[in-house]
Amino acid sequence: MDPRFAAAAFLFAGAMALPGLARAQAPAAPVEHQIPQSLQLQHTLTMEYLADLSRRSGPVGVEAGKLRALFQAHMAKENEFILPPLTLLPALARGQVTPDMKWAISMSDRVKAEQEDIFRSHIAVVEQAVALENAADNAGDETVRDWVRGAIIDDMGDLEVMEPMSALVGDLLRAKLPAQ
C-alpha cells in the first residue's frame, strides 16, 4: 500500500473511533468492486441522518423518509457502477495502469450510457431535498435546513465531478491498455 494512503487509512480508522462515528462504519458494498472509503462513510452518515429524521413526527419526518428512499435507490446505482472506477484514481494519478484495471471500463461505459437516467435520478433527489428544506424552514429547524443545503451541494458535485471522473477513468484505461 502506498505510504500516503496507509497514513490516510490510519487517520480514517482513528476518526471511526470518535464518539458518534464508530457506528457509522460503512458496510462492504455488496458488489465485486468497492467504492472509495470516504464516499462509503459519507453515504452511511447520510443514510443514518435521514433515518433519524424520518422517525420524527410531522412534515420533516415525512419528507426525510421520502428523501431517504430516493437517496437509497440512487446510492445503489452509485455503488454498483458509478463510484467503483474512482478507486483507481490514486494509481492512475501516479501513472500506473495495469490489465487488472480493465473491469472499470465497462462501468465507465455504463455511466456514459445511462447518463440521462442518472441525471433524472439526481433531479428527483434534489426536488425531494428541497421539499425537506421547505419542511425544515416551516418548522424553524435551521440545522436540518443547513444539512439539506449541504446535501444538495454534494449532489451537484456528483454531477459535475464524480460522474465525469468515472467516465474518464474508462477512457484513460481504454487508451492505455492494449486492445484485446
* 134 HSE (CA, 13 A, CB side): 9
Over residues 108-124, mean pLDDT: 95
Over residues 74-95, mean pLDDT: 95
User: Among 6, 153, 164, 139, which residue's Cα sits nearest to residue 61?
Assistant: 139
The residues, any chain, with a CB within 8 Å of residue 44's CB and separated by 6 or more, are 24, 25, 26, 27
Over residues 12-38, mean pLDDT: 54
Point out the least confidently predicted range of 19-28, 54-63, 125-134, 148-157: 19-28
Q: For residues 139 and 129, what is the distance between their CA atoms, to the nearest angstrom? A: 15
At residue 134, does pLDDT exceed 70?
A: yes
Give CA torsion, residues 139, 141, 146, 147, to 10 deg: -90
At residue 1, does pLDDT exceed 70?
A: no
Angle, helices 37-54 vs 59-77, to 10°: value is: 150
Q: What is the percent of the chain where pLDDT is above 90?
A: 80
At residue 115, does pLDDT exceed 60?
A: yes
At residue 20, does pLDDT exceed 50?
A: no
Would the pTM of this model clear 0.85, i.e. be above it?
no
Q: How confident is the prediction for the chain on average, in pLDDT?
A: 85
Q: What is the pLDDT of residue 180?
A: 61
Number of continuous H segments (helices) and E segments (strands) in the chain: 8, 0
